[in-house]
Structure 1
Amino acid sequence: MMKLKSCLVVSLLCLLTVEQSSGKSHPEPSCSYPPSQWCRSLEIAIECQVQKQCMELNAIRPNPSVPTVDVTLYYGSLCPGCRAFITQQLFPTWTMLQDIMTVNLVPYGNTKEVPSANSPFTCQHGELECHGNMIEACVIHLTGPSAFHVIYCMESAAHVVDSAQPCLQLYAPSVSWASVASCVNGEQGFKLMHNNAIMTRALSPAHTHVPWATIDGEYTDWLEDKAMSTLFHLVCQLYKGVKPPACTGAQVKLNRSLC
């Protein structure tokens, strides 16, 4: 899920840089194609004199037949612990390992669904969090591959809800704010939140706090401890295919907090 074309460019440029720094001779690309197209076909690679680098790049790409590591995060938009996990672990890990991992976001957290009340949802951090949850649910529904970038932008901002519109314009300019507002203020937003409520209530074991993450649909105390402290290392460890070069780095353990 959520592939970025820039990964190909970065990987190829890294290969070229490594050869240059090691003293090896390497081709100087001089062609009419931008770097993002260098490995699109053998003909382009030959014209740009990067066929060797493209072959090396293809050799280290993950095998598409090997399933990715699925990380599903249940969270509240204003929960400090959730915001820290998204901005310090989940998004950076996905940025580096998106070829071998899938991220699913379920903004609901410790919300309670009370259909008989004036407001159908009661949130741990007040009405503003309910509003933030619904905005993010609508963003995920409407923006597709750009959703995680928009959510990260919101969660890393000083004011999550106030940043929604500028973050949307920055990372998903083709989606109008009017469409998000229509979702939030209309029936679609309530349906999305109700679906998130169903998914959250169906967790087994039942969640007791957020952030709450399942790995490949499973939750255990061991998986939670690893996911919340060393998610990058956990994804590399669980991936059953050939490990990407990014997985060879040293493990760094981060602190965690809960709501």
Structure 2
Amino acid sequence: MDISEIFLLTVLVISSVNTIGPKLRLTIYYESECPDSERFILEQLQPTVQQLHNYITLQLVPFGKARSINYGKDGFVCQHGSSECLGNMVQDCALSRMKQYTDVMKVAYVACEMETRSGAKGDLHCVQNAKLSPKDVEDCVLIGDGTTLQLHSEYLTSTVRPSFIPTITVNGEFDQHIQDNAQVDLLSTLCSKLKEAEPCAKRFNSMALNYLLINER
């Protein structure tokens, strides 16, 4: 196969998979001060969502290995301390007010929180950067529905019972193979289920083209 045939094959494959099919439901269970969560969100989730936002529906669940005390009446205990509990609740409150935002915008907000740990410090500048009302989010945490939101996140997390944070599910199901691969290459992991998606077709064709060119030498 010469280079012109390879190029033609690549173009044909890409052009044949432009149709957007059913979206994947991607859920991320994470913690606001977890180093593994931070690394995953900044290095894997954010760039992947930027490429695949037309093909996935994202749910972000900031709770992890925390637990409620007396159904939240006496607060929560979190893996990385009380500041993480605050960070989890700030993010839950902010995300609950972002229903009309795109997944790209939601992840950008969460990435800001994970990188700066702002919410965990009681600083709402990431909230403000996301064009949300800091007063509204502060009220949610102090006197509003913050506890209820965290109890719901606790319930969602309990249905998965994660042994490692962050944990991901696809279409509501946990798969250890997907979980392990997603930690190092989320884009390729999702593309294995989204072969019809244009960004995935381009990625796979680029890989195939590189392979053929190397073996042509």
The answer as to whether partners of 2:68 and 2:76 remain within 8 angstroms in 1 is yes
State the identity as a percent: 27
What is the distance in 1 between the residues matched to 2:155 and 2:207? Answer: 39
Query: Which of 168, 189, 200 matches 2:146?
Result: 189
Q: Which structure dedicates a bigger proportion of its chain to helix?
A: 2
Q: Does 1:121 align with 2:76?
A: yes
Q: Is the Cα contact below 8 Å between 1:71 and 1:216 reproduced in 2?
A: yes
Which of 59, 63, 77 does residue 19 from structure 2 map onto?
Answer: 63
- For the residues of structure 2 that align with 1:125 and 1:70, how far apart are their CA atoms? 28
Equivalent residue in structure 2 for 1:110, among 57, 65, 70: 65
Q: In the alignment, is residue 176 of structure 1 matched against residue 133 of structure 2?
A: yes
Letter in 2 for 1:179: D
Distance in 2 of aligned mates of 1:128 and 1:242:
40
Shift of 1:142: 0.8
- Contiguous gaps of at least 5 residues in structure 1: 1-58, 252-259
Alpha-carbon distance in structure 2 between the residues aligned to 1:82 and 1:115: 27
1:23-102 matches, within 5 Å, as: 62-64=18-20, 66-102=21-57
Distance 2:16 2:122 in 1: 38
Q: Please name the residue that 1:214 is paired with.
A: 169
Highest relative contact order (Cα 8 Å, sep 6+), 1 or 2? Answer: 2
Please name the residue that 2:113 is paired with.
154
How many corresponding residue pairs? 188
Distance in 2, Cα, partners of 1:214 & 1:78? 21
Instruction: Give 5+ residue unaligned stretches, structure 2.
Output: 1-14, 209-217
Is the deviation greater in 211-220 or in 150-159? 150-159
TM-score normalised over the length of structure 1: 0.66
**CA distance 1:185–1:77, shift in 2 (3 Å):** same
C-alpha contact (below 8 Å) 1:112/1:123 kept by paired residues? yes
Could you tell me the TM-score, scaled by structure 2's length?
0.77
